[in-house]
C-alpha cells in the first residue's frame, strides 16, 4: 500500500504563494499519474491539477498553479501563486489508478491532506 505524505500548507495572505509537496513511498512512483485535489468546508472534493505525460488544471487555477514531479525523489509538487481566499481548502495528494484525471473515482490512493488558508 503506497503512502502519500503532503507538506507545505499554511496560512498566507491573498496574492501570496505556497508550494505543496507530496512524498510517495514505493519503487514505482514514476509509472503513476499523480494529482492534487482540494476540499473546502461544506463542499465536495474537487480536481485541481494532474501530471501524466502532460499536465492538466482546473479552470479556476489555470495560470496560477503549476504541478511538477521529481521521480528521483518520489515527490510531486504544487506551486501555488496569486492565491485567493477561495483557494482556501484542504489539499490532497492523489495517485491515480485509472485514466480520467478529473474524477475522484480514478484515484487509488490519497494523502492525509494539508490545510491551505488564504486570508483577504
pLDDT single digits (tens) 76-117: 999 999 999 999 999 999 999 988 999 999 999 999 999 999
Is a pLDDT exceeding 90 seen at residue 26? no
**Euclidean distance between CA atoms 32 and 106, whole angstroms:** 12
φ, ψ for residue 39, nearest 5 deg: -140, 120
pLDDT single digits (tens) 1-24: 899 999 999 999 999 999 999 999
**Who's near 28: CB < 8 A, 6+ residues apart?**
none
Amino acid at each position: 500500500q503506497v503512502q502519500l505524505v503532503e507538506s507545505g500548507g499554511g496560512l498566507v495572505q491573498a496574492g501570496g504563494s505556497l508550494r505543496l509537496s507530496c512524498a510517495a513511498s514505493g519503487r514505482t512512483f514514476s509509472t503513476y499519474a499523480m494529482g492534487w485535489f482540494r476540499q473546502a468546508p461544506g463542499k465536495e472534493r474537487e480536481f485541481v491539477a494532474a501530471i501524466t505525460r502532460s499536465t492538466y488544471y482546473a479552470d479556476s487555477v489555470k495560470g496560477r498553479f503549476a504541478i511538477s514531479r521529481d521521480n528521483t525523489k518520489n515527490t510531486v509538487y504544487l506551486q501555488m501563486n496569486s492565491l485567493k481566499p477561495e483557494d482556501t481548502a484542504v489539499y490532497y495528494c492523489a495517485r491515480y489508478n485509472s485514466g480520467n484525471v478529473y474524477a475522484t473515482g480514478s484515484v487509488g490512493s490519497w494523502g492525509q491532506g494539508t490545510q491551505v488558508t488564504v486570508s483577504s
